[in-house]
Structure 1
């Protein structure tokens, strides 16, 4: 929200002259439909919630507000980005993950409420499993669904994306990448490599925790490259969060024993 002008977030058109696409439910409960999209109060509320989320204060409460904010955004903007939809799903899962969380911040363990933590440990364990299922479904769909587009099976998809001015990278990056992708073996290697790696990420839910955790860094690198080449920066933020919760958090919690379950129980 800081890096994107309001007129680009809430794009005006003949279909949506006010720059918002509010349905009946969003008109009643959506932040950007209750107030004027350009009203400063909407941005003040948004920034306050997101800043508190980044700082990690009151996770048991802020997770609900974060989910409401993500829901409001997805149901208000005329043009929805895939990263926004992922963010909406993840924030709902974080509500489950932080259910009953009475800590002042998520940066430390509050021994005062240790008995409450033990009570809701199964809920958080279920949330971790839901994160893993979400990650698996997203990457399997990303890999398998691409075969319905002819350019992916024939290995030319990435080259064609590079030619689209909407997604083409800056000139200094376009020239060397386009030169590489104009060479058929390179184009095939890159295209099929993406399909293969997304499929591996999709089936990683069945891997041992150590093997699944080893996919975190390559997965982050993949999305950083996507962001640099195609400008998918908000998608990078959402998918980085999903990757961490999918590949790293189950191992982390099994090692610390916070969920009182073994790594194998969520593998």
Structure 2
């Protein structure tokens, strides 16, 4: 019940500063008692741990609100470092995912995806499996889909680090890749975790509008007041 309450509060965005630590604790606590099925739990643990320095300096009541001012200097450095580490972690995850596949002959010769889709546990639904596997078994479609998966993973790795445009491209590729995996293999929780993590890593923090500086004073009076005194 406590976990449901905390996670619901996180979703609605109330007081990020207060709930970032409980969120991280909940992400770690189930994983200590069960074996992860698809890897999404480890990613969530790392992400929520890095959210702590990002959120501790967030004084907003709701995280949907525009910030009223910049992050306090005492939190600015740690927040920037955490965001940079999160982006690097995402890049490492997708780089490892792409390169590790090259160790298997089925990925190198372009036949891995049809084999995975034909798997009775993680493959396509039984009604769709024969037709899709037969289509991909023709040769070039299998090669395109198999190598295309690795190319997309490498592209996410590269695009998550540079400027805002490249990071938006990384986010779109992540949504396309994991939506396809969720539909084809049923890894819904893993897909949602990865999309949410990349969304956080690629987000551009909104900047508060700078406030106009107060006019300079002369002997305790503003310039217009000083002029009025001289005229009178």
Q: TM-score normalised to the size of structure 1?
A: 0.72
Matched length? 209
Residue among 13, 16, 31 paired with 1:59: 16
Q: 1:206 to 1:67 in 2, by over 3 A?
A: closer
SS in structure 1 at match of 2:128: helix
Give the deviation of 1:208 after TM superposition.
3.5
2:65 alignment counterpart? 108
Deviations 1:131-189 (Å, cap 9, x if unpaired)? 11011001000001111122111111111112210111213432432122111110000
Residue among 157, 161, 167 paired with 1:202: 157
**Runs (5+) with no aligned partner, structure 2:** 211-232
Question: Matches of 2:145 and 2:81 in 1, distance apart?
Answer: 36
Question: Matches of 1:118 and 1:97 in 2, distance apart?
Answer: 13
1:244 alignment counterpart? 199
Structure scoring higher RCO (CA < 8 A, sep ≥ 6) equals 2
Deviations 1:17-59 (Å, cap 9, x if unpaired)? xxxxxxxxxxxxxxxxxxxxxxxxxxx1121111111111111
Give the deviation of 1:117 after TM superposition.
3.6
**Runs (5+) with no aligned partner, structure 1:** 1-43, 261-267
Q: Does residue 230 in structure 1 map to residue 190 in structure 2?
A: no
2:223 alignment counterpart? none
Residue among 12, 28, 34 paired with 1:77: 34
Deviations 1:111-145 (Å, cap 9, x if unpaired)? 3xx47545422222222211110110010000011
| Pairwise CA RMSD | 2.0
The answer (yes or no) to whether the contact 1:74–1:80 under 8 Å persists in 2 is no
Q: 1:184 to 1:109 in 2, by over 3 A?
A: same
The answer (yes or no) to whether the contact 1:50–1:66 under 8 Å persists in 2 is yes
Give the deviation of 1:66 after TM superposition.
0.8
- For 1:174-189, what aligned pairs fall within 5 Å after superposition? 174-189=129-144
Question: Matches of 1:223 and 1:98 in 2, distance apart?
Answer: 27
Question: Matches of 1:160 and 1:77 in 2, distance apart?
Answer: 28
Question: Matches of 1:149 and 1:166 in 2, distance apart?
Answer: 20
Q: 1:236 to 1:79 in 2, by over 3 A?
A: closer
**Rg comparison, structure with higher value:** 2
Residue among 148, 163, 173 paired with 1:193: 148
Question: Matches of 1:118 and 1:180 in 2, distance apart?
Answer: 58
The answer (yes or no) to whether the contact 1:173–1:229 under 8 Å persists in 2 is no
